[in-house]
Amino acid sequence: MKRTYSTHYGEVPLPEGIVSRKIQNNNGLEMHILEARPDEKERPLIILAHGFPELAYSWRHILPEIAALGYVVVAPDQRGFGRTVGWSNQYENSIEPFNLVNLARDIVGLVKALGYSEVKAIIGHDAGSYVAGVCALIRPDLFKACVMMSAPFAGVPPMTEKIKSVLARPTIHDLEEQLRALKEPRKHYQVYFSTPSANDDLMNAPQGLHQFLRAYYHHKSAAWTHNRPFKLLSWDAEVIAQMPTYYIMHKDQTMPQTVAPHMPDENQIRACQWLPDEELAVYVSEYKRTTFQGGLQWYRCTIEGANQSALSLFSGQHIQVPSLFLSGKNDWGIYQTPGAIEHMHHQVCTSMKDVVLIDDAGHWVQQEQSHAVIDNLTDFLRSL
């Protein structure tokens, strides 16, 4: 049953049995976590890593159900998000603390602070999928299994090509030039999110923060009926520009301007059981307080090369622990990097159990179709 409980977010709707607390993570953060079955330390540990623009709260449907299988389940607000503190949200400050290796160090430190010597599985969604992948790649002794959701992890770049992707494609900067040269000039959303103006654009959305986030979540969900993704066969700008504008934006538009025409009507909002207004208000309240800049620093680490440089130390490594990939069938995130899902499945992961695309789910799969996600996670965990 979902009731309103007192948490570090304030009074918020949550399923029964979830505890909100803070803990030092041994890497400079006081991390806010949502935790299910925290008093039963003899149980194995599961870690849930969220993406952008999300929070530990994004796992509210998943936490108690996976705990009921016999686990302690912990979802942190990651560096740059929510009630976790110890990071800077100033654009001009160093982005190095937000690179993927340090984000993995955040999780390793959290595991140790929780008193565990291993994690049964780390499960990550969106940008958290990359965190989960890196944790499993570089610390298989600690993370015994890995589930990546909605964003395929394409592995580590070759050490001799720090900035070039492991996939045969132009750099993001070359692609950006090609997109801007199109008849209808476009731009890549990750490049936009890396600009100094992006945070102000989002915080000062003309429609207001609540309406912006409502439109953004709707636009990338299965409820937006035009989300019918298909495999893209090349990195040609005209091919990439077939993706929706929340990924390949019009050159002169902000993200609030991009999603505004796709705002759901009142009937659609009332019908949205996976994100009713009282739950959306949790995100609105947190981002109003912290801004988006902490999460946007993650994008800068990709665009400015910090991730590639940090990961190059692990060139040649593979994810050898049992792994699973889950996504919504209506999620363009599967295909936004041509070739990534195949590369992950057949080369990066040596023990990939399955790739599952869930019906009637877009990008926010663990929220949109939580029961189907729980069923697939249950099967995977039992197979271990």
Task: Tell me what the mean pLDDT of segment 219-231 comes to.
Answer: 97
pLDDT at 184: 97
Residue 27 maps to a domain: yes
pLDDT score recorded for residue 170: 74
Q: Is residue 306 part of a domain?
A: no
- Dihedral angle at the C-alpha atoms of 175, 181, 187, 191, nearest 10 degrees? 50
288 and 191 fall within a common domain: yes
Across 14-48, b (16+ Cβ under 10 Å) vs e yields bbeebbbebbebebebebbbbbbbbeeeebbbbbb
Residue 165 lies in a domain: no
Domain final residue pick, 265, 295, 325:
295
Residue 167 lies in a domain: no
In the chain, DSSP finds a helix count (H) and a strand count (E) of 16, 12
Q: Do the bridges between strand 121-125 and strand 186-188 make them parallel or antiparallel, or are there none, so unpaired?
A: unpaired
SS3 194: coil
**pLDDT bracket for residue 169 (50, 70, 90):** low
Total domain count for the chain? 2
Same-domain pairing of 44 and 109: yes
pLDDT digits (tens, 9 = 90+) for 52-89: 999 999 999 999 999 999 999 999 999 999 999 999 99
Each residue of 136-162: pLDDT tens digit?
999 999 999 999 999 999 999 777 644
Q: Are residues 378 and 329 in the same domain?
A: yes
Residues 146 and 205: beta-carbon distance below 8 Å: no
- Give the pLDDT score at 168: 54
Tell the residue number behind the tokens 């937006």, with chain if given.
224
CA dist 308 and 62 (Å) reads 31
pLDDT in tens, 279-328: 999 999 999 999 999 999 999 999 999 999 999 999 989 999 999 999 99
- pLDDT level of residue 38 (50, 70, 90 thresholds): confident
Same domain, 118 and 220: no
Contacts of the segment 1-8: beta carbons below 8 A, 24+ positions apart: 7/34, 8/32, 8/83
326: CATH = 3.40.50.1820
Segment 103-112 mean pLDDT:
98
Residue 308 lies in a domain: no
Whole-number average pLDDT of the chain = 95
- DSSP conformation letters of 88-110: ---TTS-SGGGSHHHHHHHHHHH
- How high is the pLDDT of residue 163? 43
Question: According to the model, what pLDDT value does residue 92 have?
Answer: 96
pLDDT of residue 19: 96
Do the domain assignments include residue 266? Answer: yes
**What pLDDT is recorded for position 1?**
57
**One domain for residues 142 and 225:** no
Query: Are both 155 and 182 inside the same structural domain?
Result: no
Distance CA 143, CA 126 (A): 19
What does the alpha-carbon distance between residue 333 and residue 77 come to, in Å, rounded to a whole number? 22
Domain region containing 271? 172-295
Say how many CA atoms lie within 13 Å of 139 toward its Cβ: 22
Q: Is the pLDDT of residue 238 over 60?
A: yes
CA atoms within a 13 Å half-sphere pointing along the CA-CB vector of 181: 8
pLDDT of residue 162: 44
52 and 23 co-located in one domain:
yes
Q: Which residues contact 237 (CB under 8 A, 6 or more apart)?
A: 175, 178, 179, 181, 182, 186
Distance CA 36, CA 49 (A): 15
